[in-house]
């Protein structure tokens, strides 16, 4: 409604296959519908963090190709 959409970047554990539709189904059962991400990106590299361990959200938003991300 306000023009913002929710996206998620998932970094699976090594050797684990990821089923995005199953993730969407699980989230749909456990959290409010407006909180379920509409875009999913899977990354094989760790999320960018600063020396203090905080997530660098701006850099993450810039680095992810949201056009190629899975859409719900």
Residue 45's CATH number: 3.30.300.30
State the burial class of residue 13 (Cβ atoms within 10 Å of its Cβ: 0-12, 13-18, 19+): exposed
**Per-residue model confidence as pLDDT tens digits over 26-60:** 999 999 988 899 899 998 899 999 999 999 999 99
Q: Is residue 11 part of a domain?
A: yes
Q: Could you tell me where the beta strands, DSSP code E, fall in the chain? A: 7-10, 39-42, 70-71
Q: What is the structure's pLDDT at 2? A: 62
pLDDT score recorded for residue 11: 93
Identify whether 2 is part of a domain: no
Q: Which domain holds residue 11?
A: 7-71
Domains of the chain: total: 1
Q: Looking at residue 66, what is its pLDDT?
A: 81
Within-domain flag for 1: no
Residue 40 lies in a domain: yes
Distance of CA 59 to the CA centre of its chain: 14
> Whole-prediction pTM value?
0.78
């Amino acid at each position: 409604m306000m023009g913002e959409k929710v996206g998620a970047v998932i970094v699976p554990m090594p050797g684990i296959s990821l089923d995005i539709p199953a993730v969407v189904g699980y989230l749909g059962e456990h959290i409010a519908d407006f909180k379920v991400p509409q875009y999913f990106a899977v990354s094989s590299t760790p999320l960018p963090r600063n020396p203090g361990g905080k997530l660098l959200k701006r850099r993450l938003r810039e680095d992810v190709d949201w056009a190629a991300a899975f859409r719900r």
